[in-house]
Amino acid sequence: MQAGGRCLALSGGTAPDRGASRAAAEGRAHSRQSPISQATHTAMTPDQIQTRGTLTPQKPLDSLTWLRVGGPADWLFQPADEDDLRDFLEALDPEVPVFPMGVGSNLIVRDGGIRAVVIRLGRGFNGIEISDHITAGAAALDAHVARKAADAGRDLTFLRTIPGSIGGAVRMNAGCYGTYVADHLIEIVAIDRQGQRHIIPASDLKLAYRQSQLPDGMVVTEARFNAPAGDPAALHARMEDQLARRDATQPTKERSAGSTFRNPAGFSSTGRADDSHELKAWKVIDEAGLRGARMGGAQMSPKHPNFLINADGATATELEALGEEVRKRVLQARGISLQWEIMRVGEATPGADVPALELGAVSKE
């Protein structure tokens, strides 16, 4: 029997000063020395801003996404730390779009690229602090947070099989085996488009199945979780079982972005023996005869038909076109409108060729 959708994730992370966090929560300004005086502030283009991180013009994004597709970003900014990020956003012309990007695990960047500053958090944002709660930088990998928590006898095991980083997990309310970020999240730290720092309680994010109400352009830098106590050996054993189940049912060795479409049922698979597979995305795709369907180098995985894979040098155009063809045919066959779980961003290449759909008998592993 086919397992349900993958356990998900998008955006980038650090563990800023705790005292400053509380001050911000009470509405007081988080003081720092900004290179731009409020009195003399003028909007700047990215190349005019002095940064301590890395700013790269016309950066191809294909190497930064799991599907290995994507044209160039106008600019890629990798801030050194939270203050570097805040100063940059404060100085940046407000007319310049900003797109926070995590590790690219749940993302199609179109072949024409992104007309924006793409912000990708790195080492300055991947700290993990463990006490009665777990505080993780937004760039910390979900699996790493789960392992470190288990080492300390704290249970965030549901994160172990979720690809991506904590920032994206928060933004998309990632979940696996019936547990979601919403079940554990206490609060986040995020930087808005003007460079202002906010502490946002989980309740304000209105977390739901694969979505949140985090405003566009706001960059998550840190998240704090409740993590129940548990025996480290038992927690690690549970994660090993989760990994074995995932590897048996999902194309983990292929280039994919995880689950392509949200389950029409409105919740992820529980992994339990009594889990119903009715209204699961993989099920309706399979019933529409689209397991293994291809367009050029893009394919719906023969192993798990809700995984869109780059099987042979696919373009973003081919991947998105195949996904849209699947949506059309499932709607015709079942009257169900599948909703994308993968985020698609950027500009398409005008006049790009779209290959014909290829159907064929495929084996179910």
- 186 by Cβ neighbours in 10 Å (0-12 / 13-18 / 19+) ranks as middle
pLDDT at 216: 80
- Percentage of the chain exceeding pLDDT 90: 79
Q: Which residue has the higher pLDDT, 16 or 132?
A: 132
Written as six digits, the tokens of 305 are 């038909």
Q: How far is CA 273 from the centre of its chain?
A: 28
Written as six digits, the tokens of 234 are 């038992």
Residue 35 has pLDDT above 70, yes or no: no
pLDDT at 141: 97
Q: Mind giving me the DSSP string for 122-133?
A: -GGG--EEESSE
- Cβ 215 vs Cβ 192: under 8 Å: yes
- Cβ 156 vs Cβ 228: under 8 Å: no
* H or E element at residue 220: strand 219-226
Residue 177 has pLDDT above 90, yes or no: no
Q: Which part of the chain is CATH 3.90.78.10? A: 256-345
CA distance 52 to 79: 7
Highest mean pLDDT among 277-291, 330-344, 346-360: 330-344
pLDDT at 22: 38
What is the pLDDT averaged over residues 21-34? 42
pLDDT at 350: 87
Q: Which residue has the higher pLDDT, 113 or 23?
A: 113
pLDDT at 337: 97
Q: What's the count of helices (H) and strands (E) in the chain, helices before strands?
A: 7, 17
CA distance 5 to 265: 11
Instruction: Look at the block and give the residue holding tokens 């900014």.
Output: 77
pLDDT tens, 52-79? 999 999 999 999 999 999 999 999 999 9
pLDDT at 256: 96
Instruction: From 43, 35, 56, select the one nearest 96 (Cα to Cα).
Output: 43
* CATH architecture of the region 1-33+41-255: 2-Layer Sandwich (3.30)
Instruction: Look at the block and give the residue holding tokens 């919403």.
Output: 182
Which candidate in 165, 259, 268, 301 is catalytic? Answer: 259
Q: Which residue has the higher pLDDT, 335 or 265?
A: 335
Rounded mean pLDDT of the chain? 88
Which candidate in 90, 187, 318, 341 is catalytic? Answer: 341
CA distance 360 to 200: 49
**Residue 17 pLDDT level (bands cut at 50, 70, 90):** very low
**Residue 41 pLDDT level (bands cut at 50, 70, 90):** low
pLDDT at 211: 92
pLDDT at 253: 93
Instruction: From 275, 316, 282, 317, select the one nearest 300 (Cα to Cα).
Output: 282
CA distance 31 to 46: 23
Instruction: Give catalytic status of residue 324 as yes or no.
Output: no
CA distance 330 to 289: 9
Instruction: Look at the block and give the residue holding tokens 């409020």.
Output: 38
Residue 226 has pLDDT above 50, yes or no: yes
Written as six digits, the tokens of 280 are 């699961």
* H or E element at residue 240: helix 232-249
pLDDT at 346: 97
Residue 299 has pLDDT above 80, yes or no: yes
Written as six digits, the tokens of 177 are 């085996």
Q: Which part of the chain is CATH 3.30.465.10? A: 1-33+41-255
Residue 259 has pLDDT above 70, yes or no: yes
Instruction: Give catalytic status of residue 32 as yes or no.
Output: no
**Residue 91 pLDDT level (bands cut at 50, 70, 90):** very high
Residue 162 has pLDDT above 60, yes or no: yes
**Residue 23 pLDDT level (bands cut at 50, 70, 90):** very low
What is the pLDDT averaged over residues 350-364? 79
Written as six digits, the tokens of 73 are 């970003």
Q: Which residue has the higher pLDDT, 16 or 305?
A: 305
Instruction: Give catalytic status of residue 259 as yes or no.
Output: yes
Which candidate in 171, 210, 246, 291 is catalytic? Answer: 210
Instruction: From 311, 306, 291, select the one nearest 355 (Cα to Cα).
Output: 311
Q: Mind giving me the DSSP string for 184-214?
A: TEEEEEEE-TTS-EEEEEGGGG--BTTB--P
* CATH architecture of the region 256-345: Alpha-Beta Complex (3.90)
Strand, helix or coil at 144?
A: helix
pLDDT at 37: 45
Residue 330 has pLDDT above 90, yes or no: yes
